[in-house]
């Protein structure tokens, strides 16, 4: 499932449905009708449906766009955008993603755990090493993850924070195999 990530300061506005749109600089890999997960401040707080996506120049943004994004004016919206995108000009194209919250999670799920349907990455790693015949590279990555207890620490050992994806993918493959074998299942 695709997702949208937000800064933690927007949690309340999203849950109270005062923020029903977001303006992004890059064209999103989303389409109208997509079901998405809403990540805020490191937690998945719910699900939403993408209702519309429109491209527009910054100079064409309106007060209406600002209100849907939880701001009180066009000027406030543009000021916030320029904090996120420091070199944004009036003639740059931005994308307004309109969404409707369809489910609020009673208890937010850590974003890192959601990939494993509510199972902690440590549980997945321990079960995978115990019960699966993993490819050697995945086995070594998962062992290193268990030794350090941190995706970030593994990434740094592999050459930098951008390497987190490598361990995440190994854990995801392991989880999917554990699920297929009936050894683990969704908790969320």
Same domain, 152 and 99: no
Torsion angle of C-alpha atoms 70, 71, 74, 76, degrees rounded to 10: -140
Same domain, 26 and 94: yes
* Mean pLDDT of the chain, nearest integer: 91
| Joined tokens for residue 121 | 């990455």
124 touches 145 (CB < 8 A): no
User: Which residue segment(s) compose the domain that 34 sits in?
Assistant: 2-111
Whether the pTM exceeds 0.85: the reply is no
52 touches 98 (CB < 8 A): yes
Same domain, 130 and 101: no
Same domain, 18 and 103: yes
Residue 185 maps to a domain: no
Q: Which domain-ending residue is among 111, 134, 161?
A: 111
130: closest CA among 141, 149, 143, 117? 143
Same domain, 50 and 102: yes
Beta 21-24 vs 93-110: how paired, if at all? antiparallel
Residue 188 maps to a domain: no
**What are the residues facing 104 on neighbouring strands?**
46
Same domain, 10 and 84: yes
The per-residue pLDDT for range 150-175, each reduced to its tens digit, is: 888 888 899 987 888 899 899 999 99
- Confidence category of residue 125, pLDDT binned at 50, 70, 90: very high
- Cβ neighbours of 99 (radius 10 Å): 23
pLDDT: is 39 or 94 the higher one?
A: 94
| Joined tokens for residue 130 | 């115990």
Percent of the chain past pLDDT 70, that is, above it, reads: 96
40 Cβ contact partners less than 8 Å away, ≥ 6 residues apart: 5, 6, 7, 8, 10, 11, 14
Q: Which domain-ending residue is among 52, 82, 111?
A: 111
Same domain, 96 and 133: no
- Confidence category of residue 32, pLDDT binned at 50, 70, 90: very high
Same domain, 85 and 164: no
Residue 104 maps to a domain: yes
Domain count, the chain: 2
Please tell me the predicted confidence (pLDDT) of residue 8: 87
The per-residue pLDDT for range 49-94, each reduced to its tens digit, is: 999 999 999 999 999 999 999 999 999 999 999 998 989 999 999 9
Please tell me the predicted confidence (pLDDT) of residue 111: 66
Beta 21-24 vs 35-40: how paired, if at all? unpaired
3 state SS of 36: strand
């Amino acid at each position: 499932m695709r997702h949208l990530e937000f800064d933690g300061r927007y949690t309340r506005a999203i849950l109270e449905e005062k923020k029903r749109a977001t303006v992004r600089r890059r064209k999103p890999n989303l389409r109208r009708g997509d079901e998405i997960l809403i990540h805020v401040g490191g937690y998945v707080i719910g699900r939403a449906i993408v209702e519309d996506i429109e491209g527009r120049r910054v100079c064409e943004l309106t007060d209406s766009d600002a209100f849907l994004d939880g701001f009180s004016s066009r000027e406030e919206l543009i000021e916030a955008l320029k904090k996120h995108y420091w070199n944004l000009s009036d003639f740059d194209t931005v994308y307004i993603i309109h969404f409707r919250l369809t489910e609020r999670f009673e208890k937010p799920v850590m974003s890192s755990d959601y990939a494993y349907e509510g199972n902690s990455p440590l549980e997945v790693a321990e079960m995978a090493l115990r019960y699966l015949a993993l490819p050697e590279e995945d086995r070594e990555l998962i062992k290193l993850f268990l030794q350090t207890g941190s995706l970030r620490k593994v990434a740094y050992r592999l050459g930098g924070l951008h390497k987190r994806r490598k361990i995440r993918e190994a854990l995801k493959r392991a989880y999917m195999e554990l699920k297929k074998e009936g050894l683990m299942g969704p908790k969320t």
